[in-house]
Amino acid sequence: MIFDRRLKTVSSEAIYGERWLRMVYGSRLGRISSSALFGRAWFSVVFGAWMNTKFSARKIASFVSRYSIDMDEFETPPGGWKSFNEFFSRKLRAGARPFDADENTISMPADGRHSAYPDGADLSGLVVKGRPFTLAELFGGEDAARPFQGGSLVVSRLCPTDYHRFHFPLSGIPSETRHIKGGYDSVSPVAIRAGARSLCGNRRMVTILRTQSFGDVALIEVGAACVGRIVQTYAPGKPVRKCDEKGYFLFGGSTVITVFQKGRVKLSGDLVEYTASGMETYAKMGGTMGMAQE
């Protein structure tokens, strides 16, 4: 169930490829097949290569129609893409995602379904089955996670139907990106409820953003099944402004995780409230995620 922040409504999510996901993750045989085939790097690379061909462009019109995607938000007009991946990583037109320029507020880094966990929250709910979720697993080690222990965390889950570029939630100076090797499980609710270790088991990219008001902020992009590549478009070490583009995903559902140090932020009340009730909040990039802790 999803709470839509703009419409103020609650509805069930239309999951892209739900029948296939339930087949793969809903049985022991399906999970074995996923591990042996769909969860392998070569499968995502091959699938991504297909999505770069001109033949894949035939899927665009039906995809747009089926999922009611508002094409007026984007730079390129319908019919202007040479492949499905070009369409998938489409750019917004100027002004399509307004945001609060106040540097004491934090913007959503991506379009998607967001879950918010304030300082010291129990993170075990991020994995319904299997081992509890830990920051050390997410960051790929205790030393990397230590500066963020006890802090706040926001998970932004992107579906294949979403705009798939991700942005800086704050102004600051970004580090080089650190790559953590991992698998290629789906990040869909179907997969996670079946025990997929997507958030801290999939391949990930970690960037530390040094900010003036919020200290160090960890920006983590998580790959998923059929995501051929995670592309970073920013320049490490050079100052960025809030909502500047950071990079983009190629085909597949994906996740962006934002982690704050303890005592730095007050997350938006609706995000925290709906997360506690077991729901994600749908909001677009640029929407307010929180503000500086008083």
> Does 114 qualify as catalytic in the annotation?
no
> Does 198 qualify as catalytic in the annotation?
no
Catalytic residue among 34, 89, 111, 114: 111
Whether the CB-CB separation of 217 and 260 falls below 8 Å is answered with yes
Catalytic residue among 167, 185, 186, 188: 167
Distance between CA 227 and CA 179 in Å, rounded? 15
Distance between CA 152 and CA 258 in Å, rounded? 8
CA dihedral 219, 224, 228, 230 (to 10 degrees): 0
Catalytic residue among 44, 171, 188, 254: 254
The kind and range of the H/E element at 2 are: strand 2-4
> Does 179 qualify as catalytic in the annotation?
no
Query: Considering just the CA atoms, what is the radius of gyration of the chain in Å?
Result: 18
Q: DSSP letters of 249-280?
A: E-SS-EEEEEEE-TTSEEE-HHHHHHHHTT-E
Give, as one character, the DSSP assignment of residue 80: -
Distance between CA 210 and CA 108 in Å, rounded? 17
What residue has token string 């500086």? 292
Residue 9, both tokens: 């409504």
Core vs surface per residue 214-240: b (16+ CB within 10 A) or e? bbbbbbbbbbbbbbbbbebebeeeeeb
Q: Give the catalytic positions in this structure.
A: 111, 167, 254
